[in-house]
Chains A and B, each alone.
Chain A
Amino acid sequence: MIVHIDMDAFFASIEEAINPRLKGRPLIVGSRGNRMHTVVCAANYAAKALGIHSGMPTRRAYSIYSKLEFVAADQAKYIWTSEQIFELLKGFNFPLNYASIDEFQLDLSGCPEPKPVSLGKEIKAQIYANFNITASVGIAKNWLLAKLASKLNKPDGLTVIDDSNFEQVLRKANLDKLCGMGGKNGQILMAKGLKTCWDLYLNLPEFFNNNPGKFDEDPGKTNEKPKSVSHSYTLPRDQINHQVIMAWIRLLSEMVAIRLRQQDLVSATVHLWLTGPEICNFGAQKAYQVSTNDGYEICQRALKIMEKLNHKNPRIRAIGVTCSSLSLNVYQPLLSEEIRREGLIQALDRINNRFGEGVIHPAITTLTR
């Protein structure tokens, strides 16, 4: 038995708790401070009722309702709240899974006398008492159904899917409510005439039954190193200035490099992708013999890839840098220049760890600010 906890409009609810004046008014949380040049990061239920949803450009959201309340996202408070909820849930002493920043799962399968409904009510009450925000809880035999259940009675809902209501719930639930069916998979199945989750169950019962009812606790799996590390950024508007584009590639390369060094990894393959009106979606990668976790080197490799662009000076809207072919860093620098470079990187990391990430940074990245 899985209990899935899904926070209701998480970022927007926190902003409403901070500023009670916003409660009940249509509110969007923008991913950047400039309200007309960003996307909706989260919308509260009053805004969702108007048809505004996450991922929508804010300009379009304002065209739907011009008096929208706007708050710029502040990750620190969302991360802190998420971690505090995780700590609170640890206190229930069940295997716990951190599914995403606003989703948590408890596994009751080992419990001799599970009382999932009273547990769900207790969790909701404690979250509300501590953070003044609501959560929806879904309870079912496996995580897929529990996640579906949590979505069915939002906000502040508690839904159980068991043998008695399995068919009834699945008949009522549209296919796109099911995890993994929101994108192309769902569209393909819907085009084939599958409208509800029940239609999918009749055609693919194993899709529902094969999902585990308890967590995979294989320790080897959780310690696996990542396959790739990437960072991307969508610029507020199309950018033609080559220096600024280079600055962004350098910054993203540094961000990737920091994460590689934190995990003591090096990468042999760099992938760069760019989007823009002239180039559409450009993406290319190159593998090198020497692996690296130096931001400068990753940036140089990415710029080499950029030279493959046919267009001389294209407008760029989004940039992404990915490092793959990862391995553990066992390389010992031998040349004096390499040793000096390694020492410099370690010194920079120590300064940023002491005073905060990005306190000391390559000069060119100031063009991104």
Chain B
Amino acid sequence: MNQNSFNPKARWDRFEPDKTGFNPDSLNERIEVLANFKHARIFPKSFLWHDKEYVIETITYNWQERIGQALLNYFSVLCAGQIYQISFNNSTFRWQIDKIIQ
């Protein structure tokens, strides 16, 4: 495999300076999630946020990011016509709602 010809991580460096600015869309609040862990993959089914249950109709996309030794699993999920981004940190076992996608 000629994998050395391009390395996406070197080009899209994670130490990108502009990422930490104030973002009014970000929520970063802890939530409770009901999820299936199947075949080394995670399928969130519903989440509880501010005492309200949100049933996940579709996972529109999912992706991962490694921050230090922690692996973060991100999901964009559709609940009652609204899309939310939620994430799971596999080192702290914390689920959180990251933002509401407009």
Q: Which residues of A contact B (CB under 8 A)?
A: 14, 17-21, 32-33, 75-83, 86, 90, 95-101, 132, 215, 217, 222-223, 231, 233, 248, 251, 254-255, 258-259, 352-359, 365, 368-369
Contact = CB atoms under 8 A, between A and B. Distances in A.
Contacts of A77: 61, 63, 65, 74
Contact of B60 (A17, A86, A231, A251): A17
Interface in B36-94: 60-61, 63-65, 67-70, 74, 76, 83
A96 B2 contact: yes
Nearest to B70: A356
B5 A259 contact: no
Contacts of B9: 79
A352 B67 CA distance: 9
A152 B26 CA distance: 40
Nearest to B20: A369
Chief secondary structure at chain A's binding surface: helix
B30 to A, nearest CB: 19
* Interface of B: prevailing SS: mixed
A354 B68 contact: yes
Contacts of B7: 98
A222 B13 contact: no
Contacts of A98: 2-3, 5-8
Contacts, number: 109
A32 to B, nearest CB: 5
A215 B3 CA distance: 11
Nearest to A94: B1
A359 B68 contact: yes
6 contacts: A18-B61, A19-B101, A75-B12, A76-B14, A79-B65, A355-B67
A79 B8 contact: yes
B1 A95 contact: yes
Interface string B2-31: 111111111111111110110100000000
Interface residues of B, number: 34
A83 B8 CA distance: 8
Given A18-B61, A259-B10, A215 B2 contact: yes
> Which of B2, B60, B65, B76: most chain A Cβ within 10 A?
B2
Nearest to A236: B18
Contacts of A19: 60, 76, 83, 101
Q: B9, B11, B18: which has the most chain A beta carbons within 10 Å?
A: B18
Given A79-B9, A352-B68, A356-B68, A32 B18 contact: yes
A330 B13 CA distance: 26
Contact of A75 (B16, B64, B69): B16
Contacts of A32: 18
Given A19-B83, A83-B8, A355-B68, A75 B14 contact: yes
Contacts of B68: 352-357, 359
B88 to A, nearest CB: 14
A225 to B, nearest CB: 12
A231 B69 CA distance: 24
Nearest to A263: B10
Contact of B12 (A101, A251, A352, A368): A101
Most B C-beta atoms less than 10 A away, residue of A76, A223, A248: A76
B99 to A, nearest CB: 11
A56 to B, nearest CB: 19
A134 to B, nearest CB: 15
Contacts of A101: 6, 8, 11-12
